[in-house]
Amino acid sequence: MPRILVLGGTSEASRLARALAERGDEAVFSYAGRTLSPVTQPLPTRIGGFGGADGLAAYLRHEKVTAVIDATHPFAAQMSTNAVHACAQADIPLAAFERAPWQAAEGDRWQHVPDIEGAADALPDGARRVFLAIGKQNLGAFAGKAQHHYLVRLVDPPKAPLPFADVEVVIARGPFEADEDRALMRKHRIDIIVAKNSGGTGARAKLDAARALGLPVVMIDRPKVPARKTCARLGDILHWLDHSARLGV
Ligand code: NAP
């Protein structure tokens, strides 16, 4: 029987874990350990880094893993890059289970930027009320833009003060609804939203809300990851597992 490692931290990973558990597959689920109370998975779960690509390759060999599914967030580029190198090193098939990026539709006012620094640069000079919907990492990139009021949405309360003089924090875990996000943006009189192009439905609400309110969005494009097999649908990733992964292709 194949022994699968699922690199998690997304709703896709949780869907995959449920499917693998229902099928009775032998699999281990891996979390980085970033949130205080991660979603419980119906699979044996390990938490914490592997120690880079070499550490992951050693883990794969030691645990006799036969296939790896990278279901991390599209912005978890370090983990995804490590997975490509480690699987090549250990000669283990790898596929990514990754949602497609969002595309702007009519009525959207998106400005695309290549990275977090680009997003900070894209904010106007004059003071604005900015909804930073980018999680807890990388907030420091906006510290130099101290003229703005920031609304920050986080899964867990921050352990240290945020690097802003004028900030409000909302603690909430997705998925979110567009009408809730519209109400949130109205309440906080938001002028501009900063978002990562994560894709998927649960985090899309803020974009639908922005469109409804006619607000501009600074959209951070996805980081580059080395080429690998990628599936956007659960059925495709299970098909890969049952066919290509078994054959080692
Ligand atoms: P990252 O920068 O790509 O990874 C940094 C390091 O964290 C990796 O080198 C690895 O440490 C460890 N790591 C990351 N994902 C792991 C996993 N699933 N299992 C074990 N170790 C893992 O990742 P990140 O952006 O900090 O994201 C961390 C986690 O949060 C991921 O599970 C991701 O799916 C989730 N997440 C990220 C975002 C985001 O916007 N970045 C959003 C939502 C959820 P070692 O090198 O020691 O192995």
Hey, how many other C-beta atoms are within 10 angstroms of the C-beta on 145?
18
Cβ-Cβ contacts under 8 Å for 243 (sequence gap 6 or more): none
Q: Report DSSP state, residue 226.
A: -
Could you tell which of 79, 82, 89 is best to mutate to test the pocket of ligand 1, judged by most ligand atoms within 8 Å of the CB? 79
For residue 154, give both structure tokens: 């986080």
Q: Are 120 and 145 in contact (CB under 8 A)?
A: yes
Please report which helix (H) or strand (E) contains residue 219, including its range.
strand 216-220
Instruction: Give distance in angstroms: CA of 193 to centre of ligand 1.
Output: 24
- What structural domains and CATH numbers belong to the chain? 3-99+224-247 (3.40.50.720), 110-220 (3.40.50.720)
Q: Which residue, among 232, 233, 197, has the nearest Cα to 217 in the 3D structure?
A: 197
In angstroms, rounded to a whole number, what is the distance separating the alpha carbons of residues 109 and 144? Answer: 25
Q: Which residue, among 241, 139, 245, has the nearest Cα to 131 in the 3D structure?
A: 139
Q: What is the pLDDT of residue 247?
A: 63
Q: What is the pLDDT of residue 248?
A: 60
Q: What is the pLDDT of residue 2?
A: 79
Could you tell which of 4, 16, 43, 72 is best to mutate to test the pocket of ligand 1, judged by most ligand atoms within 8 Å of the CB? 72
Instruction: Give distance in angstroms: CA of 8 to centre of ligand 1.
Output: 8
Q: Are 86 and 23 in contact (CB under 8 A)?
A: no
Supply the Cα-derived Rg of the chain in whole angstroms. 19
For residue 167, give both structure tokens: 């900030």
Interstrand relation of 129-133 and 149-154 (parallel, antiparallel or unpaired): parallel
Per-residue pLDDT of the chain (249 residues; tens, 9 = 90+): 779 999 999 999 999 999 999 999 999 999 999 988 899 999 999 999 999 999 999 999 999 999 999 999 999 999 999 999 999 999 999 999 999 999 999 999 999 999 999 999 999 999 999 999 999 989 999 999 999 999 999 999 999 999 999 999 999 998 899 999 999 999 999 999 999 999 988 899 999 999 999 999 999 999 999 999 999 999 999 999 999 887 665
